[in-house]
Amino acid sequence: MSQADIQPSLDHIQPREKAEILAQALPYIRKYHGKTLVIKYGGNAMTDPALQQDFAEDIVLLKLVGMNPVVVHGGGPQIDEALNRLGKKGTFIQGMRVTDEETMEVVEWVLGGEVQQDIVGLINAAGGKAVGLTGRDGGMIRARKLKMVDKDDPSKEHDVGQVGEIESIDPSVVKALQDDAFIPVISPIGFGENNESYNINADVVAAKLATILKAEKLLMLTNISGVLDKQGELLTDLTARRIDELFADGTISGGMLPKIAGALDAAKSGVNAVHIIDGRVPHALLLEILTEQAFGTMIRSH
């Protein structure tokens, strides 16, 4: 993106105001310098070209000012599109994609190939040094078959195919890349004891990785303004207890379940702050990390 592309949007801001905006970011840059930030990248931020560009620039800027961003991406819409091209229809049980062998092959080449390399390319074009990984690289994500218990009848289990749950994460390959000024971009695919592949929910991978890396923050980009109450109002600050209540009364359901459950686990396991932010806002990441303004829901352990 050339200077000319950026300039018009800033023309209305006086130099003094620009200086104040930059100065306001300074305490945050100082506070998070050298700290790891795990970012779950998904939703509109991932499919809208202008937002993709914003995201890539944000990641590069965070790296340049001394933070350590680690990107974990999803790819649900892209997987659906690829399956449609093959004449396969995706089915879901309790928000999880049922993954047979053929679907798993598609998941691997869409996530670990197409989507991951698009993100790597965007970050590199914005001036960063991104490296794509799947959970197989460096033996990072060991997984086992997910046993999905029916939410209404705990005695019943659903078979969702090659969907995995995380057994363990070895973060050494991520740490090695961070130390060498690279930005890791991770596809949520794990491997089992017989070298079989598992599709793992990207929110769950991001949350677990944030815990293992002792990240300062876990940021999850979504297609909504954050966690909403039954009236559709944004809940900006949630505690563990309040989340349990929202689960119980059905306020949080469907695709938000794994996202919030993962976020809550991370908050309880030592990640200082978990933010669920609106990926449809241009430069939402920078605004969340470098300003006072909250663009979503923050989750605290207590």
CA-only gyration radius of the chain, Å: 19
The response to whether 195 counts as a known ligand-binding position is no
The response to whether 199 counts as a known ligand-binding position is yes
The response to whether 97 counts as a known ligand-binding position is yes
* Residue among 71, 72, 171, 73 nearest 129 (CA): 71
Could you give the CA distance from residue 299 to residue 302 in angstroms, rounded to a whole number?
9
- Which letter, b or e, does each residue of 39-49 get, where b requires 16 or more Cβ atoms within 10 Å of its Cβ? bbbbbbbbeee
Within 10 angstroms of residue 119's Cβ, the number of other Cβ atoms is 24
Annotated binding residues, as ranges?
75-76, 97, 199
Annotated binding residues for substrate, as ranges?
75-76, 97, 199
